[in-house]
Structure 1
C-alpha cells in the first residue's frame, strides 16, 4: 500500500494540477466532458467533481484524482476549533488540541499566523483536523486523518455508512457501470491540492467505512 501511495504522489507532482476548486461537488447534475475508461466500461463524472484526469488501479481499489473541495470539506467548510462547536461535531469529544502562533515577517506588513491540530471522537469514529490562517494558502482547514464506522455520522448530501453503492456513486458520477461494483471494493478520492485521500470501502454493495489517510 505504501508503494502505491508513493506512486500516486508521484503522479500528482508530475502532472500539472489546477489550483481551482469548486464550492461543492455535490448536488449538481451537469456532466463532465471527461470519460474514464476502465476495462471496457465508461465512468462519466459530474462536471463539479472536477476530475483531474489521473487514476490508479491497485488490486480492488480505484484511485481518482479530483480538485473538488469535497475531499477536504466533506462536512462543510471549517476554519478553526471554534467552528467545530457550530457544526455536526458539536457533540463530539475533543481528545487532543494544539495551537501555535507566530509572526510571519516574510510578509509586508508582517502577519500573525496560527495553526491548530484538533482530534475529535464520537463512539468508534475519530477525526483529526488541521486549521491555519496562512494568507498564502489555498485552504485553511481540512481533515488530516480519521475513520468513520457507523451511520450516526453523515457527510454532505447524506453520504454515510450503510448507503448502497449506486446511491453513493450518483453523488459524484453521471454514470458508474454496475459491472464495476464488485470489481472495486474501495473507491478512493485523492485531492489534487492537498495531501489527503478519502477511502470509501464497500461490503456487499453497502458503504462499510470511510477513512481519511494522509500522503506520506
Structure 2
C-alpha cells in the first residue's frame, strides 16, 4: 500500500512546524507513526542548501539561482527520504513542498510559473501531495510572529525571507490562496490565528475522512 503524503504551507510565522508536531502526536495516538521532514533541509545535502538559501547574508542570490537550489534540495529529498517512505507505505508530513516554490519564487519573485513547473516537475518525479494544509495569515501578523520567534531563539534565527519587504509577503500569501483556488480538492485552508491544537484536530478529522485505510 502506497503511503500518504501531506504537506504544510504558509507564509513566514504561520505556525506550520508547530502544527506538524501537534498532528504527529495525534496520529501516533491513533497508531500511525508519521515521518516528519521539511524543505529545504530534509537531507544532509538539503541542510547545506538551507544554510545558503536562508542566510540573511545571501541577499544577492538571483531568483533563478534560488529556484534551482530549491529544486536541487527537492530532488535529493524525493530520492532519499520522501519517495522511499511513501513506497514503504508510511505517512509523510512535510513542512513545505512544491507549492512553496510556486508561491515564493513564482508569485513572490515573479519567475514565470511555466519555468517553476518545469524545474519542480523534474525534481519531484511525479510525487504529488495527497493533502496540502495551507495556514493562512495576514503577512503583518505572520512577520510579527516570526520576529518574536527569532528573538526567543536568539542570534542566527532570522532568515533571508524574514527580511523581505511586506509587499513580497503579500504576493506570496495571494499566491498560496490562488493555488488553493485552483486545486480545492487537494488544499485544506486553515485560519492560522486559531490555536494549534484546534487546527491539528481539524486536520486529523480530515485525515480520517480521506484516508480511512491508514487505520486498518
Instruction: Specify if TM > 0.5.
Output: no
Choose between structure 1 and 2: higher helix proportion.
Answer: 2
Q: TM-score range by the shorter chain?
A: under 0.3
Question: TM-score w.r.t. structure 2 length?
Answer: 0.25
Q: Which has the higher contact order (CA 8 A, sep 6+)?
A: 2
Choose between structure 1 and 2: higher strand proportion.
Answer: 1
Question: TM-score w.r.t. structure 1 length?
Answer: 0.25
